[in-house]
Chains A and B, each alone.
Chain A
Amino acid sequence: MVYDRGAILGMDGSVVNALHFGLESWAAWAPDLTSAQDWQDWAAQGAPARSLDGAEPGVAGMPPMLRRRAQRLGRMALEVLYQSEADHAASIVFASRFGEIQQSTGLLRELARSHAVSPQAFSMSVHNAVAGLYTIARKDAARVMALAAGTQTAQAGLFEAAMQVADGAPRVRLVFCDEPLPALYRPFAEPETPPFAIMLTLVPGDDYVLSWQEAEAARDANAQDVLRFVLSDASRVSLTTSGWVMARCA
């Protein structure tokens, strides 16, 4: 299946109107919300604004010689990935709007200053590097896909994962992560993104459906909006201003 110019197309080119999936589990980590209970409380309190600062997680399960390669964003993603079992059949969809933006910005500054960039930082600034690091450390030969889609990154990640499930994947680990932009870029940013990593494990099933509806969302949903919806008893959440919706199946 592919998502092409606003429509979901099956392998035979036919338009697919809805994608159904089950949600096996979720995991999330942020500097100020480190346990599942913290996230449930946050959702129950109406998702109050979160701190933009904070320390990185320990990722205790990862060998230090590999862990040293990851910065805070990567470590948050690794922390949630390590809450799943290594599973070759469970592909990973890594969805992040800006990726390792702190590191990428540092690289650009260094390139301008000295014309010599850190090979280690460069190797980890590739968008799929963190997921790759995880598969190496865990000897988990899962398929990895990395994507970024601006303000529609949450929708794009959900679509990719749900399409893989619809195409027969037994399980898909959908990892969302982002962190605040460096000061240099903040004047151009929409509302600040606090640091977070969220993993949704999709399986075949009928818990949720992605479909297009006449809807009037004021803004595209981010991954935290999606998790908040999952943790609530709301019937649906608008994913995009263009009308894509994630709904609970009755």
Chain B
Amino acid sequence: MDPLIAEIKVLIIESLNLEEMTPDDIDADAPLFVDGLGLDSIDALELGVALQKKYGLSFAADSEETRRHFASVSALAAFVGSHRTK
């Protein structure tokens, strides 16, 4: 498995206080928001800040492109892999 995927799963669990959840519980290809993991808009902001701090990324606050990057852990890993500055 892509080590970045494992790393992002841990980041999600820690930054969003997903108690009692392990990386194995997160399907890398399942939707992160509403369906699938069931995250909400505050989580989206929280995750954005966490990714910004850890990988030096920046996002357009509410664009179609950002929505695509946040669709799943796999999509996030692809975006982080190609855009990270640290």
CB distance from A102 to the nearest CB of B (A): 15
Q: For chain A, residues 81 to 98, give those with C-beta under 8 angstroms from any C-beta of chain B.
A: none
How many residues from B make CB contacts under 8 Å with A? 14
CB distance from B8 to the nearest CB of A (A): 17
Whole-angstrom CA separation of A123 from B43 in the bound complex: 11
A: residues with CB less than 8 A from B are 64-65, 67-69, 114, 116-120, 123
A120 CB contacts on chain B under 8 angstroms:
16-17, 42-43, 45-46
B49 touches A119 (CB 8 A): yes
For chain B, what secondary structure do more than half of its interface residues adopt (helix, strand, loop), or is it mixed? helix
A123 CB contacts on chain B under 8 angstroms:
42
Selected A-B contacts with CB under 8 Å, 16 pairs: A64-B20, A67-B19, A68-B16, A68-B19, A114-B53, A116-B53, A117-B49, A118-B46, A118-B49, A119-B42, A119-B46, A119-B49, A120-B17, A120-B43, A120-B46, A123-B42
Whole-angstrom CA separation of A69 from B42 in the bound complex: 10
Choose among A67, A116, A118, A119 the residue with the greatest number of B CB atoms under 10 Å from its CB. A119
Whole-angstrom CA separation of A119 from B53 in the bound complex: 13
A119 CB contacts on chain B under 8 angstroms:
42, 45-46, 49
Additional pairs, 7, CB under 8 Å, beyond known A69-B17, A116-B49: A64-B19, A67-B19, A68-B18, A69-B42, A114-B53, A120-B17, A120-B43
Whole-angstrom CA separation of A117 from B16 in the bound complex: 14
User: B52 at the A/B interface (Cβ < 8 Å)?
Assistant: yes
Whole-angstrom CA separation of A117 from B18 in the bound complex: 19
User: B3 at the A/B interface (Cβ < 8 Å)?
Assistant: no
CB distance from A232 to the nearest CB of B (A): 39
CB distance from A100 to the nearest CB of B (A): 14
A65 touches B45 (CB 8 A): no
Whole-angstrom CA separation of A64 from B52 in the bound complex: 26
A68 touches B17 (CB 8 A): yes
Nearest opposing residue in chain B for A121, CB measure = B46
Whole-angstrom CA separation of A118 from B42 in the bound complex: 10
CB distance from A184 to the nearest CB of B (A): 23
B18 CB contacts on chain A under 8 angstroms:
68
Nearest opposing residue in chain B for A66, CB measure = B40
Q: For chain B, residues 9 to 61, give those with C-beta under 8 angstroms from any C-beta of chain A.
A: 15-20, 38, 42-43, 45-46, 49, 52-53
B53 touches A65 (CB 8 A): no
A67 CB contacts on chain B under 8 angstroms:
19
CB distance from A132 to the nearest CB of B (A): 12
A64 CB contacts on chain B under 8 angstroms:
19-20
B46 CB contacts on chain A under 8 angstroms:
118-120
Choose among A64, A116, A120, A123 the residue with the greatest number of B CB atoms under 10 Å from its CB. A120
**Out of B16, B43, B52, which one reaches A116, CB within 8 Å?**
B52
Closest 9 A/B residue pairs (Cβ): A119-B45, A68-B17, A120-B46, A119-B46, A123-B42, A120-B42, A116-B49, A68-B19, A119-B42
